[in-house]
Chain A
């Protein structure tokens, strides 16, 4: 089954976001998209044409975007405040903290073109801080869906619940990670086991889950078996699953399209340490530097967020010097 995942249809998660929102909006006039001149990059042009009454445009004004979204949500609207993640979660952070999370206005904050999706546009357009800052805000769920299935389910859930959610999407076409069984239930705060093994556990989120899975398939050829988790909800973290897989495997590796500070890796590390689960551990992400120039894939390759890079780190962790602590 794992070999077949590439043959399944796939789109960019952003497109699934827009399609799902349209489907929901047809039945629910309370669904409102708020955009900051970003309906094009958010794939919401068609949404705006079909539901002109359900899109609010504030122009390039992220603070106002979030404040307006909070006001709409306070009147019972199911709001999806959509803007490039880099601006939304930095420029409007205080509005996210106060108007949304603190006031418990159930706004869905949708960060688009996240991480290094904008590649060569550079640091101003990269969001490598958003998990860190939003994790530190009480009452905020932080979600980075990996594939189209997770995206569709995440949007449906976000529209249904009455607490704030941050949803993060990139621009890349995302292959399905695995076939979805009829019994599978998608929940925020519950990670998905993509493939199972006993030597290493690779925990990833968003667009980095696929290279994690590719790395696991590569390692399998070398008789190294790895568990791959799509930890789509960075907060609240699925600590039950984390403890279970970490206890089972020899080493733990995390992968994220984010600074190595304050994201998925640090969330996992602090849980494992506090609960005395001591395993060789590595965070793969963007180090404390302004990223090299290049496409998203080139940046991924540069920092080892790739099939090869992840596999290399797993081999290193499994080598005797790490295991014995020499």
Chain B
């Protein structure tokens, strides 16, 4: 896919995220918008995973540690054909499988997540299994910067380095905000790059809302042979919608009809400017 096509894809995904969140009257809007470019590039450019090979032991794995931003995952999986997109009309509704966090009841979801600090340990075990079986699939996990204080992340970071898991890639969606306040004011994990490096990982930083830059970085794995890779993706919470960007209230705010219309108009306008 060209960068232009990827950019258009991200805009289309953003529109869908907002549409289904408004329909559900619930969702994690800001974080889904910050990480959607990362999922776009992973599923459309980097990972070898599709509905056709999903039962294959050789498929690449994606585990979304920041499970609350499930809307981003669901719209991408629907787009890839894992299920009918119209199913998302039931998001968060009574008896729907499309609940507010990733669940394996939804085709394409690898692991049930939602509680924070779980993705990296599971991804580490999955990457160890690949090494044991001499398989060359890659394992990706998406972490939020707000979940980095969970100790289980750092336990897993140690193990991944110990086992030289260069088939493992963690991506931190570093949008700088969490539910209470700015991440740096809650429990700062800066300097995050130095911390990962000290734990034995190869680190790259990237503009996490730049699909071209993401494509380049995520296509160069592993960053170092014998080391797990981490991408610190600097993103903007609420990215793409002027009144949502970097605003705490949109952590899980649901747009009003007027706000929704404005958001759609802004996204349509930005689509015209894509080059």
Contacts and interface: CB of A to CB of B under 8 A. Distances in A.
Interface of A: 32, 34, 53, 56, 58-59, 61, 63-64, 66-77, 94-95, 98-99, 102-105
B125 A95 contact: no
Contacts of A72: 125-126, 128-129
B44 interface: no
Contact of A71 (B104, B112, B115, B121): B121
A140 to B, nearest CB: 14
A74 B122 contact: yes
Interface of B: 57, 104, 110-115, 117-118, 120-130, 132-133, 151-152, 155-156, 158-159, 162-163
Given A75-B57, A94-B115, A95-B118, A58 B123 contact: no
B159 A64 contact: yes
17 contacts: A56-B125, A58-B155, A61-B159, A63-B155, A64-B152, A67-B152, A68-B159, A71-B121, A71-B129, A72-B126, A76-B57, A94-B118, A95-B118, A98-B112, A98-B113, A99-B118, A103-B104
A64 B132 CA distance: 18
B31 to A, nearest CB: 19
A67 B112 contact: no
A289 to B, nearest CB: 30
Contacts of B158: 59, 61, 64
A172 B122 CA distance: 34
Contacts of A73: 125
A150 to B, nearest CB: 29
Given A61-B155, A103-B112, A67 B122 contact: yes
Contacts of A104: 104
Nearest to A74: B126
A61 B162 CA distance: 13
B265 to A, nearest CB: 40
Contact of A67 (B110, B124, B162): B124
A77 B129 contact: yes
Contacts of A63: 117, 121, 151-152, 155
Given A72-B129, A74-B110, 17 more contacts: A53-B132, A58-B159, A63-B151, A64-B152, A64-B156, A68-B121, A70-B121, A71-B123, A71-B124, A71-B127, A74-B122, A75-B129, A75-B130, A75-B133, A95-B118, A98-B113, A103-B104
A75 B126 contact: yes
Contacts of B127: 71
A73 to B, nearest CB: 8
A95 B151 CA distance: 13
A75 B111 CA distance: 12
A74 B125 contact: yes
Going nearest first, the 8 A-B pairs with the smallest beta carbon separation are A71-B125, A67-B121, A75-B129, A64-B155, A68-B125, A61-B155, A71-B126, A63-B152
A67 B125 contact: yes
Contact of B114 (A56, A64, A75, A98): A98
Contacts of B129: 71-72, 74-77
A76 to B, nearest CB: 7
